[in-house]
């Protein structure tokens, strides 16, 4: 089993997606962590465990999560990665640009 800590305002669905890359294992994830409701909001930080052999999204370890909606000078909205650099995707899915 592998473990990670929750961050502020994560739901059980968020945490299951973070661990497994799918919600198909939500019941298993809750049972493995002794959580009795999918509506549970954990305190920060709370340690969670998951079975790494069941992970369906192998990009979890190096994936840059989108954390903000940025308005560019052109008025277009772009989603910003958490690191502040990399690929930015437009809100309508039409264009991308790269920052350094």
> Smallest Cα–Cα separation from 33: which of 64, 67, 10?
10
| pLDDT tens-digit map of 81-92 | 555 555 555 555
**Is 70 exceeded by the pLDDT of residue 41?**
yes
**Is 70 exceeded by the pLDDT of residue 44?**
yes
Flag whether the pTM goes above 0.85. Answer: no
């Amino acid at each position: 089993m592998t473990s990670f800590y929750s961050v502020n305002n994560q739901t059980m669905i968020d945490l299951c997606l973070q661990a497994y890359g799918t919600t198909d294992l939500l019941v298993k994830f809750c049972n493995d962590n002794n959580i009795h409701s999918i509506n549970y909001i954990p305190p920060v930080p709370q340690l969670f465990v998951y079975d790494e052999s069941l992970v369906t999204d192998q990009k979890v370890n190096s994936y840059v999560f989108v954390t903000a909606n940025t308005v560019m000078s052109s008025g277009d909205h772009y989603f910003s990665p958490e690191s502040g650099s990399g690929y930015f995707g437009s809100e309508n899915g039409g264009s991308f640009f790269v920052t350094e």
